[in-house]
Chains A and B, each alone.
Chain A
Amino acid sequence: MKTLLMIITLFTLSWGAHIDEFAKEVSYERDYKKALQAAKDKNKMIMLVLVGDYCPWCKKFERKTLKSSEVRAEVQKNFIPLVLDKYKDKNTYPKDFYAPVIPAVYFIDPKSEKSLLEAVAYMKKAEFLDNADDALSLFEQGAK
């Protein structure tokens, strides 16, 4: 029984590892409340990326799109980025963002905690940056 528990724990730890490594590498938050506070302090939107450890499209989205230098620069300049596992982080973020499809990206207004724009499925750099621009425009319009 002990061995079984040890194996399960090791598996669980290894599941968490990839998302933590990714968050560290691209400087994304891993905690919704912290991201929300930072977004309020800096008057920026939260960019919530929902992924899953079993999801190859999510891995490709991280690898090819989110890790690219143009996307990283744009994201760090304009958003408070946050990456969460759709299932493993489930009780740590609002139910409004329980996406039916992943990868999913929510651009969230920190005051209302409502999504201004959602983008689902794998996106290439250009498509992702278009969505980020649209989200920024919506955020700026709301601020006027």
Chain B
Amino acid sequence: MKSLFLLLFLSVSSLFSASIYTLDNVNHLNLYIDNQTDFMDKNELKKDLTARLEKEGFVFGETDALILVIKIKSLEIEESVAITVSLGLGEEVITKRKDSIETFSYTYLETKFLEGYEPKEDTRQALNNLVDDFIAAHKDDNEE
């Protein structure tokens, strides 16, 4: 019974780190932040995210790197704020359409919706979770 639980736990935890996307060989990034709120500081976010991702081995500043897009939007509803935070990986891809059409596409995209009473702190937390998921999925795809 114990081994069954262990097996179940291992299967479930491996599924949690994996994502439907394939992040093999994603190493070079350019960070693009679309901040449509007045409570988040774009420069501060950029500095923190770059430092965090560099620590994980990602390289910034290369030409033609993939674009890591962070999008933050908010809408005030009475005393709280509805917030959406997205983390996406954008790149030029060749599709399987007729004539192998090339287009810009998101090859990774996760979004969190939240109702924030402390918008800055809640947005930070959501963004941290999105970055954690992205790093975990990247590790999962790139480990042997």
B-binding residues in A (CB < 8 A): 18, 56-57, 60, 63-64, 121-122, 124, 127
Taking CB as reference atom, which chain B residue is nearest A124?
B14
Q: Are B22 and A60 in contact (CB under 8 A)?
A: yes
Q: Are B20 and A57 in contact (CB under 8 A)?
A: yes
Q: Does B141 contact A (CB under 8 A)?
A: yes
Give the residue of A18, A56, A124, A127 whose beta carbon is less than 8 angstroms from that of B20.
Answer: A56
Query: Interface majority SS on B: helix, strand, loop or mixed?
Result: loop
**B: interface residue count bin:** 10 to 19
Give the residue of B15, B24, B96 whose beta carbon is less than 8 angstroms from that of A122.
Answer: B15
A-binding residues in B (CB < 8 A): 11, 14-15, 18, 20-22, 24, 96, 140-141
Given A64-B24, A127-B14, 6 new contacts (CB under 8 A): A18-B96, A56-B20, A57-B20, A60-B21, A122-B15, A124-B14
Q: Which residues in B have their C-beta under 8 angstroms from that of A63? A: 22
Taking CB as reference atom, which chain A residue is nearest B12?
A121
Q: Which residues in A have their C-beta under 8 angstroms from that of B18? A: 60, 122, 124
Q: Are A60 and B11 in contact (CB under 8 A)?
A: no
- Expressed in whole angstroms, the Cα–Cα distance for A63 and B140 within the complex equals 14
Within the complex, the shortest CB–CB distance from A32 to chain B, in Å, comes to: 27
- Expressed in whole angstroms, the Cα–Cα distance for A81 and B15 within the complex equals 25
A-B contact pairs, 18 of them (CB 8 A): A18-B96, A56-B20, A57-B20, A60-B18, A60-B20, A60-B21, A60-B22, A63-B22, A64-B22, A64-B24, A64-B141, A121-B15, A122-B15, A122-B18, A124-B14, A124-B18, A124-B140, A127-B14
Q: Are B22 and A121 in contact (CB under 8 A)?
A: no
Within the complex, the shortest CB–CB distance from A52 to chain B, in Å, comes to: 13
- Expressed in whole angstroms, the Cα–Cα distance for A48 and B140 within the complex equals 26
